[in-house]
Structure 1
């Protein structure tokens, strides 16, 4: 695992497309029990190098009902984004994760993870990649039908503050999905 992480940290396969250059952000241990597959680091995480070190991460930890200490314990949580580096700014937010990362690194990383009990898929990119044809037409439908993907996967919306409208529009998420999420990540 250490050699693989070293290779990932030195990765430059999409360097030409990154506005701030490569700075892969990933956090894993061979004993990780829960894997969080998110989108890609934002500018704050790119600057700190700490995964989910922003408002979205704070909300995610609240959803999971875990402390910072537990969240950043690699034996408990592996954090593997779809794109490991900040992809740049788009018209309505950050650009999509670069596709090279998942293709190059996800399979070797998951091969090394021997004790995974749950994979949390955050956002449509992770859900489409891992659920394939079983993903619904929309993120909302996929999350609403989370039971279909258990016990291996649990799909979630992105915990970004920008998704407040989605959360308000879908009150079932906090009533149905969050209790199941918390039950499954109980440490």
Structure 2
């Protein structure tokens, strides 16, 4: 997809998404046979309900049908929320990961797996789990140190509601 088309689609679709208090995370255009596939990824601080995905999908479809943004050919529209394994790249992604276990690949080399305790404009405060009976330690990770970051899936993790009830 050309930068011009990407910018045009973002400019066209972002207001539809933000009007619903959601974030437009990603737009991807690809080919699948004769069809063009437009993938739109949306998110919010509280996650995205299925009804919200359907609402955004209808609004985007209507807007695209009113314009020539996708050209004359057939296209397939896919609207979804980001997967659990998506990379954390924006400040808001790290804020949303507060309380979660994250695997960091650092520019200086090496990896760090730690729970995000807090996020500010310069970086994160994290808790590194103790190994072999040792106590967990806290550490500061500045954004420029982070090469890559992804949330680790925890099957035994208590969610926020369970922690608040306890």
Q: Rg: which structure is higher?
A: 2
More strand by share: 2
User: Structure 1 length as normaliser, TM-score?
Assistant: 0.26
Structure of higher RCO (CA pairs closer than 8 Å, 6+ residues apart): 1
More helix by share: 1
